[in-house]
Amino acid sequence: MPSKFKIAILGIGAVGGYYGGKLAAKYSASDELEAVLIARGENAQAIESNGLKLITPEDEQIIHPTLVSNEPERIGPIDLLLCCVKSYDRDSSLLRLAPCITDSTIILPVINGIDNSEKIRQLYPHSEVWEGCVYIVSRLIAPGVVHVTGKNILIHFGSENGSKQQLERVHALFKSATINANLASDIKQRMWEKFLFVSPFATVTSYLDLSISEILSNPQHVKLFVTLLEELLAITNANGISFPADFTQNILERMKALPPGTTSSMHTDFQKGKQTELQSLTGHVVQLGKECNIPTPYYTMMLHSLKEKSKG
């Protein structure tokens, strides 16, 4: 009997909990596919004992995956690895899974930042590494409990050099699990589009210590956000990626449509005194600006301020 196609979801937090839950709910009884949740600590214990509780605007589900583990010997070889960890945990988490990652493993990171796939290819040069980004408003509100407050959830994924057959297969299995997925032929454009949203969003909410609705209610705060966006758009243009003239207005409209009180995960991490994705979402922009001689005075100022806040 041929072995099952094994999908592993690394990082069962706000993002991985949603996608892991959807995949485990669909494929836990499948003869052809298996969904493994890679989690640790209290989160893993809660899911093993009580299942993964997924709360969405539509309903609540308790999902009992076939395997929840952080141990490579229990997980075994992985066919598709959906990587949903924070950017600062990316390398250590993936290296721990080295016994499970083969030359035929496909790695799909959906991590905040613009250079994750490039970094992962350096770790696993013989594996196929795709690119992906997600739009979701969710939180891990307790161990084993994911609360999704936004609608319009979407994952873009693709690869310029990946196997078309495998890309289409993964697209089909996402759709079967009622995951809203776009197999993007223009994945680079989609990645930059998401980064242009999340980077200034995370930076300004963290810098001002305000939610997005609080920022939108103050014209000076909106101006700060737009200034960050314009600095990043200049870098994007220098990298050969362009967007229409009304892009900034579209981003602002998208922000207005978010649920009241929404903020960035980086802002939440700052509030809780946790490690943050400051380097991936803010520092990397300053670095890119230097590389292409684009000034980033507001990003630079906020980076220095947020670094000081991190120390405090």
CB count within 10 Å of CB 94 equals 22
* Of the candidates 221, 202, 306, the residue with the CA atom closest to the CA atom of residue 263: 202
For residues 259 and 94, give the distance between their C-alpha atoms in angstroms, rounded to a whole number. Answer: 33
Domain residue extents for the chain: 5-185, 189-311
**What three-state secondary structure class fits 298?**
helix
* Of the candidates 213, 311, 305, the residue with the CA atom closest to the CA atom of residue 263: 213
CATH number for the region 5-185 comes to 3.40.50.720
Query: H-type helices in the chain, by residue range?
Result: 16-27, 41-50, 72-75, 90-96, 116-123, 164-176, 187-208, 212-216, 219-238, 247-256, 265-271, 278, 284-291, 297-311
CATH number for the region 189-311 comes to 1.10.1040.10
User: HSE-up of 200 (CA within 13 Å, CB side)?
Assistant: 25
Kindly write down the DSSP assignment for every residue of 250-274, as one continuous string: HHHHHHHTSPTT---HHHHHHHTT-
Burial class, 63, CB count within 10 angstroms (exposed 0-12 / middle 13-18 / buried 19+): buried
Digitized pLDDT (tens) for each residue of the chain, 312 residues in all: 468 999 999 999 999 999 999 999 999 989 999 999 999 999 999 999 999 999 999 999 999 999 999 999 999 999 999 999 999 999 999 999 999 999 999 999 999 999 999 999 999 999 999 999 999 999 999 999 999 998 889 999 999 999 999 999 999 999 999 999 999 999 999 999 999 999 999 999 999 999 999 999 999 999 999 999 999 999 999 999 999 999 999 999 999 988 889 999 999 999 999 999 999 999 999 999 999 999 999 999 999 999 999 876
